[in-house]
Chain A
Amino acid sequence: MNIGKKKIESEIFTGSMADISFLLIIFFMITSAFSATRGLDFALPEDSTTPPEIKQEDSIDVLVLPGPVDGPTNMQVDGNQMPLEGLLPYVAEKLRQNPEKPVILRTDPSASYGNMIAVFDELRQSEDKIGLKIETISIPTQREIQSIWSMLGIGQ
């Protein structure tokens, strides 16, 4: 009688692997989000004891007024109503006279955030569109504007 050793087959049970894998896929698919990691940047000036003084007449004053977010932008440049397309040619003309001329971007408090971004985006494209870089784009807050107006002794 031939008594042979029984062979024990070693095997890893992989039947449930597909279930686990699909569970993981579903988890990652549901919880993952394509996050926006790009945007418009701007650096605030360094806090110094003697901040550079920008006089209104030395700068280009852009005032964004309330308007439809996805429609034509309603704004005034140096007190004159202007379409968004007219902004950069006007800025180019001013920059040719003084390349360091800053742009002050003010926005009416009742306008929307999207209105301001549309104009800020247009100004940031100056190098591509008119070949001139705007050195300083200042976005003053309402508190800063009011303190400047009160310093100058004029109402807005």
Chain B
Amino acid sequence: MAIIRGRDRETSAKIFTASMADIVFLLIVFFVITYKVEVDRTRMVLPESWVRVKIPQEEKPAVISVAPRSEGYLIRVSTGEEMSLPVSTDEEVVTFASTEVARDPNKAFIIKADKEVPYERFDAILDALKQSNVKYIYLLSEQKTVK
């Protein structure tokens, strides 16, 4: 009788893959639920604040973004339903905001600006929104943390 020593015994190496499908579907479900189309994808560093109010997303607020200096402080506008489009003058912002307010007088506007944007650029947008009789404005910010 041949004696099989421990080190010569063949052991089959297998990775248990039966639960892989469950994990994969769980991940898919997570991404499908959390997936949200971002109407403005301008990369920027938002200013930080302690006070942060949840912006109601039900009514799809309009977005006005001001890009950082590397993009020439380009202004983009979005109705909240379509992808943002660049505008070249402040008058175009007034026209855009007036159109949105005429459609819905309670339309909220989100101003998304890089923290290093000169205040005069923000001032021009605020002025355009005031001229258009906008009622609700949200200034997008990041959560401030203790450093």
Contact = CB atoms under 8 A, between A and B. Distances in A.
B94 to A, nearest CB: 12
A28 B53 contact: no
Nearest to B121: A113
Contacts, number: 148
Interface residues of B, number: 54
B110 A46 contact: no
A40 B21 contact: no
Chain B's interface: helix, strand, loop or mixed, by majority?
mixed
B50 A121 contact: yes
Q: From DSSP, what is the main secondary structure of chain A's interface residues?
A: mixed
Contact of B49 (A69, A121, A144): A121
Interface stretch (A5-13, A31-39, A86-94, A95-103): A31-39
Interface of B: 20-21, 24-25, 27-28, 31-32, 34-36, 38, 41, 46-55, 57, 66, 110, 112-123, 126-127, 129-130, 133-144
Interface of A: 17-18, 21-22, 24-25, 28-29, 31-33, 35-44, 46-47, 64, 69, 107-118, 120-121, 124-125, 139, 141-144
